[in-house]
Each structure stands twice: as C-alpha cells, then as structure tokens.
Amino acid sequence: MQIVGRGASKKFYPGEIWKDNNGVHINAHGGGVINYNSTYYWFGEYKSDTTSSAMVGVTCYSSKNLVDWTNRGVALAVSDDESSDIAKGCILERPKVVYNKKTKKFVMWFHLELKGNGYSAARYGVAVSNNVAGPYKYIHSGRVNPNIYPINMIGKDTVDVNSHYTDMMALKWWTPEWYDAIKKGLFVKRDLASGQMARDQTVFVDEDGKAYHIYSSEDNLTLQIAELTDDYTAHTGKYARMAISEMNEAPAVFKRNGVYWMITSGCTGWAPNKARLFTANNIMGPWKQLPNPCIGKGADLTFGGQSTYVLNVNGEFIFMADVWRPEHPSDARYIWLPIEFKNDKPIIEWRDSWSLSDFNK
Ligand code: DGJ
C-alpha cells in the first residue's frame, strides 16, 4: 500500500508516549503489524500497570498511515475459566497475526506460559478469526513437533546424544563439554517426547505462501524455525535449528530481494542488550551472523529496546522494538526506526523523529 500525501509526512517519535484515537498510550507490546485491505493492524500484549501477566489479552489497533492508530479493542481475550490454557493471569507474549489466503482466516500465534508456572511451560499458542480485528478464538497450545528430530540434527550427533544421553545430562552447565553436548542436540533429545520448547517467537509468511514459526527453544539456547501447515494453524514436522547454543530471543524476520534477514536480541530478561543480525538464502538455513545492525549512540543497547517485528512497507522496512518497563508494564514504549540498506546490509540508526517520506530521501 502506497502511503502518500499528508500521511507520509506524519512523524514517528521513537521512545515517546504514543497516543491512540482516545488520547491513551497505545497498549500493544511485543507486537506485530499486518496490512490487510489497505489498512494496517497492530496486535500486541495488553500490559497492566502493575503486572506483566496477561490480565486482558491481545489488543488490536488499526491505521492507514502507521502513525495515527484507532483502538479496535481486545482481539484475543484471556479466559475467566481457571482451567483454560489462557486463563487470566497466564503469560501471553509476542502475538503475531498472519492472513491465510486459502482459508481466508486470520491466524494468531503467541508464546504461552500456563498460569502460576512461571516460564516453564514454554508453549506456542494459536487462535483464529474470520475478521482481522477479531474476536479470535483460541484453538490450541503445546510444544513443537513431538518425536521428530530437526532436519539439521543428523548422523553422528543424533547417535551421540542417544547413546550418551545420561552422561551428557549429568554434565555441569556452561562447561565446554556441556556446550558440545548442547550443540549436538542434548536438549532436543531431552524434549523429544514432549515437543520442543517455544518461548519468544514470530511468524513469517514467505512469498510462496508458506509460513514459518521462529522461536527461542532448548531453554532459550537455540532458535528453531518450523514450517507451518497450509492453513497456518499447526507445524508440519519439518524444522531446523539455528544459532545453536548462542542464546537469542525476540526474533524478527524479513525478506528483501530474495534474501532473508533476522534481527534478534540476547537473553537479559526485560533489560536491553545488543541486537544481533543474521542472514540466509534459505529460511531453513544455514544462517550467517553479521555485526550489530544498530549504529551510532545507544547502538550497543539497541537504543534501550528489544526487537519485536520488522514491517515491510512497499519494500521499505521498519524496525519495531519494545522498551520494557517491568515496574510499570503499561508504560513500556515503542521504538520504530527505518531500516536503511548500505552495501546491501541493514543499518538502524537512532532518530528523535522521522516520517515515511524519509524513505524516499
Ligand atoms: C525477554 C523476552 O523477550 C520478553 O518477551 C519476556 O519474555 C521477558 N524476557 C521476560 O523476562
């Protein structure tokens, strides 16, 4: 969708309070944006004033120009039924919505932690709707691809973890021997029967219509990329590991001129750290790491933010990040910055304000 005229010169103010049509700071954290019927829809976590747990659910806002947003209410509500997987008070993070052209349904994926169990469930969750803004109906949650090994854990590695599993599990964490066992897939094997852990996550729809779930797995040590079924509601069983044992969170994936890019963070809870950049010619890998895409002042801490999504706007890309405020979660801020390409590599530089028309300069 081409944004022209006055809409294109409207300004983003990264890190500032961002008011919706009601004059209230937008409450859609860890979010993502889709473009449907010439309108953008932003989905994110509703954060309360005092807790990061999900007391409301996933909110939706809509916009024609990406700067002025209308509150469309709660797209996926948490449940008052204590026995529900998405009971009020669960942890429901990083929702991403994709549109399935075949089924004409909107599919929401999110990271789900069962109420009262901290971050131990490490599940994905899926909800669907016939209408972009919702309401979405929760359909299922779980761990990824039980009883299936990843496509890039083969041969000697699989034999090693199978025949030395007990010894490997007894290794002291963070020792060179333990890292070696992790690289060989020790935790893949540990979680084989239950399915792979899925925490920070995103969903990417490729140009050929195939969709992929990308998530922090194996105790946040390793990212995995899992192919989704044609209706986007489940995994096919095909998945790969990447950045093995390197501890990445907050994956955001985009594609430009046939090349895949992924921006992630390290694992430091709600505190910011240095962004990481990966590239690949095939979504299943191999992925190669490049230097931090952020440059200039504040670059070493991603300007205080953590990646959540990269939005493609007519072939230009917007980096979206969250500035978390764990003491006052609803006051968390958004950093949206343009991605520039220099020598065919993405660069992100801080701007106090900017507009879509800057892309053409
Ligand atoms: C970092 C993750 O990226 C967030 O989504 C959230 O899970 C926090 N950790 C919790 O500490």
Residue 97 confidence (pLDDT): 98
Task: Give per-residue pLDDT as tens, 198-213.
Answer: 999 999 999 999 999 9
Which of 58, 93, 120, when mutated, tests ligand 1's pocket best, judged by the most ligand atoms within 8 Å of its CB? Answer: 93
Beta bridge partners of 98: 107
Q: Which atom of ligand 1 is nearest to the CA of 91?
A: 7
With a cut of 70, say whether residue 110 has pLDDT above it: yes
**Is any ligand 1 atom within 6 A of the Cβ of residue 227?**
no
Q: Which is more confident, 216 or 358?
A: 216
Beta bridge partners of 99: 106
Residue 4 confidence (pLDDT): 54
With a cut of 70, say whether residue 2 has pLDDT above it: no
**Tokens, residue 185:** 């897939």
Q: Is the peptide bond before 286 cis (omega within 30 degrees of 0)?
A: yes
- Distance from the alpha carbon of residue 129 to the mean position of ligand 1, in angstroms: 26
Confidence grade of residue 359 (pLDDT, cut at 50, 70, 90): confident
- Distance from the alpha carbon of residue 47 to the mean position of ligand 1, in angstroms: 13
Residue 280 confidence (pLDDT): 98
**Tokens, residue 276:** 């990481």
Dmax (CA) for the chain in angstroms is 65
**Is any ligand 1 atom within 6 A of the Cβ of residue 249?**
yes
- E strand or H helix at 8, and its extent? helix 6-9
Residue 5 confidence (pLDDT): 55
Q: Which atom of ligand 1 is nearest to the CA of 250?
A: 3
**Is any ligand 1 atom within 6 A of the Cβ of residue 285?**
no
The length of the chain in residues reads: 361
Beta bridge partners of 124: 111, 142
- Distance from the alpha carbon of residue 204 to the mean position of ligand 1, in angstroms: 20
- Distance from the alpha carbon of residue 269 to the mean position of ligand 1, in angstroms: 5
Residue 210 confidence (pLDDT): 98
Task: Give per-residue pLDDT as tens, 208-251.
Answer: 999 999 999 999 999 999 999 999 999 999 999 999 999 999 99
- Distance from the alpha carbon of residue 255 to the mean position of ligand 1, in angstroms: 25
With a cut of 80, say whether residue 94 has pLDDT above it: yes
Question: What is the C-alpha to C-alpha distance for residues 49 and 3, in angstroms, rounded to an integer?
Answer: 34
> DSSP code of 219?
T
Task: Give per-residue pLDDT as tens, 24-79.
Answer: 999 999 999 999 999 999 999 999 999 999 999 999 999 999 999 999 999 999 99
| Cα separation values, 168 from 148, 150, 162, 165, 350, Å | 20, 19, 10, 5, 45
With a cut of 60, say whether residue 125 has pLDDT above it: yes
With a cut of 90, say whether residue 3 has pLDDT above it: no
Q: Domains, the chain, ranges and CATH?
A: 11-148+192-360 (2.115.10.20)
With a cut of 70, say whether residue 135 has pLDDT above it: yes
336, 340, 342, 343: which is closest to 359 by C-alpha?
340
Q: Which atom of ligand 1 is nearest to the CA of 93?
A: 5
**Is any ligand 1 atom within 6 A of the Cβ of residue 269?**
yes
Question: What is the C-alpha to C-alpha distance for residues 61 and 20, in angstroms, rounded to an integer?
Answer: 8
**Is any ligand 1 atom within 6 A of the Cβ of residue 134?**
no
With a cut of 80, say whether residue 8 has pLDDT above it: no
Taking the CA atoms of 23, 48, 304 and 203 in sequence, report the sign of the dihedral they define.
negative
Task: Report angle CA 76, 131, 51 to the nearest 5 degrees.
Answer: 15
**Is any ligand 1 atom within 6 A of the Cβ of residue 306?**
yes
Question: Whose alpha carbon is nearest atom 8 of ligand 1?
Answer: 269
Task: Give per-residue pLDDT as tens, 321-330.
Answer: 999 999 999 9
